[in-house]
Amino acid sequence: MKHLGTKTLNTPRLILRPFRIEDAEDMYANWASDPVVTQYLTWPAHSSADVTGQLLTYWTQGYEKPDSYNWALELREIGQVIGSLSVVRVIEPIGEAEIGYCMGRRWWGQGLMPEALREVLRFLFDEVGFNRVAAVHDVENPKSGRVMQKVGMTREGTRRQGGRNNRGIIDDVCYAILKSDARL
């Protein structure tokens, strides 16, 4: 693999780019303060934009490492950050990246996350050289699994009490796609 870090990527409707501290207001307003969005995440809804700013300070420091992949999803139409997509774990010996994503409710159901994920998969497979990309979702959040299906990921099974998020210990559903299977 050739780790390249969080490069700016483009889709028809989105700019996928590194987060900036100045994104705190958008992130807070558009998804980080929403308990409906964060119920399936591992961090709680933020109580203020200052909390969001602290998280962004931590995230932006991670960009110093070439194996850090954490994109802000900026909607071209409005010039605001509306979600995130990141590699949450890398398993080097098998060339696997596990991804996670979230987006503000206002933009759910518009095909934006599959659009972003397709481009990230292309980048991870073609430019970085990963062999496998995996993802999991809470069994109670099937819409997240629908995103995975739309980009060609295959359901591999359910891990009973295999995950933890803001709802507590949960069953999670595992999906993956191999570079050899990808039709991006």
Q: Residue 67 domain-assigned?
A: yes
Measured in Å, how far apart are the chain's first and last C-alpha atoms? 19
E strand residue ranges, the chain: 9-10, 14-18, 70-75, 80-91, 96-103, 132-138, 154-165, 168-178
What is the C-alpha separation between 100 and 112, in angstroms, rounded?
Answer: 15
Q: Residue 184 domain-assigned?
A: no
Q: Which domain holds residue 72?
A: 9-178
Q: Residue 183 domain-assigned?
A: no
Q: Residue 42 domain-assigned?
A: yes
Q: Is the pTM of this model over 0.75?
A: yes
Encoded tokens for 50: 């200052």
Q: Residue 2 domain-assigned?
A: no
What is the C-alpha separation between 95 and 184, in angstroms, rounded?
Answer: 19
Encoded tokens for 159: 């891990």
Q: Residue 66 domain-assigned?
A: yes
**Total number of domains constituting the chain:** 1
- Digit-by-digit pLDDT tens for the chain (184 residues) are 999 999 999 999 999 999 999 999 999 999 999 999 999 999 999 999 999 999 999 999 999 999 999 999 999 999 999 999 999 999 999 999 999 999 999 999 999 999 999 999 999 999 999 999 999 999 999 999 999 999 999 999 999 999 999 999 999 999 999 999 987 6
Q: Residue 75 domain-assigned?
A: yes
Please state the φ and ψ torsions of residue 136, each to the nearest 5 degrees.
-130, 155
CATH of the domain at 169: 3.40.630.30
Q: Residue 1 domain-assigned?
A: no
